[in-house]
Homo-oligomer: A and B are copies of this chain.
Amino acid sequence: MGNNISDIIERYLKRILQQSQSGVIEVQRSELAELFQCVPSQINYVISTRFSVDHGYVVESKRGGGGYIRIRRIDLDEHAPLVSLVRSMGSTISQREAESVIDRLRREQVVSEREAAMLRAAVRREVLNVDLPYRDELRARLLTQMLLALSAAVQRAEDDARPQR
């Protein structure tokens, strides 16, 4: 994790999000900007690049007096996290988006650190090494197929553990 302001703000928000049991926090844009000595729009940048739906967050806000920005962490479907996640993915995905999906899977412990490491390797642009826009399509196919394969493997494991059908 880098040393730029965006990363610092990201860590701050994730920390207080963690501390709040509810998984929801409310902050004020101008106050945050003041705290971190940056322009207010930087907060929007951090939110849009690190707290997107792909990352598993929903952000709402209100303008005017008493305004706020509310960040809510959304958990994956308990029963079929991989399948429902794959369904929500398109036929194209950037490296950044793919990494946010992988981070989220890791956060919710759907994949192990080893599995996440493999996925991260597989979505890197230097590894895919084909020209855009085909690269983003290839990445989407790879990611969805690997996740579906994982899901199937989980299913098989559960079936084996319960042979009485």
Contacts and interface: CB of A to CB of B under 8 A. Distances in A.
Interface in A107-165: 109-110, 112-122, 124, 127-130, 134, 138, 141-142, 145-146, 148-150, 152-165
Count of this chain's copies in the oligomeric assembly: 2
A7 B122 contact: no
Nearest to A149: B121
Contact of A117 (B117, B119, B129, B149): B149
Interface residues of A, number: 55
A90 interface: no
A62 interface: yes
A164 B121 contact: no
Interface string A78-122: 100110000000000000000000000000011011111111111
A70 B148 CA distance: 31
A68 interface: yes
Contacts of A21: none
Contacts of A82: 164
A96 to B, nearest CB: 11
Given A121-B145, A124-B145, A129-B138, 15 more contacts: A2-B68, A4-B65, A4-B66, A6-B66, A7-B66, A115-B115, A118-B119, A118-B146, A121-B146, A122-B122, A122-B142, A127-B145, A154-B163, A154-B164, A157-B163
